[in-house]
């Protein structure tokens, strides 16, 4: 046997009032190497919000064919590092950091669903001072604590990615965190013991394809079973290939009474 991975990508523009339908895409791979991300995102040069995994770093290379990707960091992953120290009660800085970060999420709750410009203005006015305060304290504390401590590790994680963590202040399309992706990963994680064996690389690819379609249906508030049953029926009845786009989950409601 060998281990495989599902790489997960999500597009969801609803938090900034976008009208493009949300979707999930899973890609099956036998590796977590950076080459996988480069292959998946070939030709893409937009915004990509990521956790701290180093595989994505090369995507931001200015010399990348097609142009660099703009990487935005996830504050939820950063908060997790401080929160663990806060729970143990060993770090005043960690507790303070968690409390100050809570202000950022409170601001996000107020601007969710608003347009990019409005979100950007609110963040520059309200979130930017909090972010500056956080980085100022982290920078000052780093020189006063043991370099190999968990707190120093968390602070360095933030400092070396400061530009990526601050991108959300300048672009209202960017979320504070990548929790949308985390929610898309969770269903696959919950069932992995029940579907431990894909059988082959081809089976893994098929799994990723089916999971992509069903998860995208859920993200569009469509009943996956109803959509899949109707779609398979239409394909069996000779639905034309030129109209395959109409079978996508986000078209289900408008097409559910259509005929092939």
Q: What is the pLDDT of residue 259?
A: 44
pTM score of the predicted model: 0.87
Confidence at residue 18, expressed as pLDDT on a 0 to 100 scale: 94
What's the confidence (pLDDT) of residue 256?
A: 60
Task: Report the alpha-carbon angle 204-40-243, nearest 5.
Answer: 80
CA–CA dist 95, 54 (Å, integer): 27
Mean pLDDT by 10 residues, the chain (260 residues): 90 94 95 93 93 89 92 96 92 96 98 97 98 98 93 96 96 96 87 77 91 94 94 96 94 61
Strand partners of residue 70: 47
Chain-centre distance for alpha carbon 65: 23
Q: Which helix (H) or strand (E) holds 47?
A: strand 47-50
- pLDDT on residue 54: 87
Angle at 53 between CA 61 and CA 101, to 5 degrees: 105
> What integer pLDDT is reported at residue 190 of this predicted model?
79
Q: Which residue has the tokens 């109409």?
A: 246
């Amino acid at each position: 046997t060998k281990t495989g991975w599902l790489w997960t990508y999500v597009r969801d523009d609803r938090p900034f009032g976008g009208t493009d339908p949300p979707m999930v895409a899973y890609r099956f791979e036998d590796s977590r190497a950076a080459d996988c991300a480069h292959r998946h995102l070939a030709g893409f040069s937009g915004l990509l919000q990521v956790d701290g995994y180093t595989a994505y770093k090369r995507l931001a290379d200015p010399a990348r064919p097609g142009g660099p990707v703009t990487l935005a960091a996830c504050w939820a992953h950063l908060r997790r590092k401080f929160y663990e120290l806060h729970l143990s009660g060993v770090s005043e800085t960690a507790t303070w950091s968690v409390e100050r970060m809570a202000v950022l999420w409170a601001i996000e709750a107020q601007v969710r669903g608003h347009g990019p410009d409005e979100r950007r203005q609110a963040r520059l006015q309200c979130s930017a001072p909090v972010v500056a305060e956080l980085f100022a304290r982290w920078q000052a504390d780093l020189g006063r604590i043991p370099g190999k401590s968990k707190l120093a590790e968390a602070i360095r994680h933030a400092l070396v990615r400061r530009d990526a963590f601050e991108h959300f202040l300048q672009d209202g399309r960017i979320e504070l965190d990548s929790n949308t992706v985390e929610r898309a990963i969770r269903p696959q994680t919950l069932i992995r013991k029940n579907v431990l064996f894909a059988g082959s690389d081809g089976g893994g690819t098929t799994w990723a394809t089916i999971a992509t379609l069903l998860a995208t249906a859920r993200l569009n508030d469509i009943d996956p079973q109803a959509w899949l049953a109707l779609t398979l029926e239409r394909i069996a009845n000779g639905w034309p290939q030129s109209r395959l786009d109409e079978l996508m989950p986000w078209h289900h409601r408008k097409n559910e009474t259509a005929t092939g």
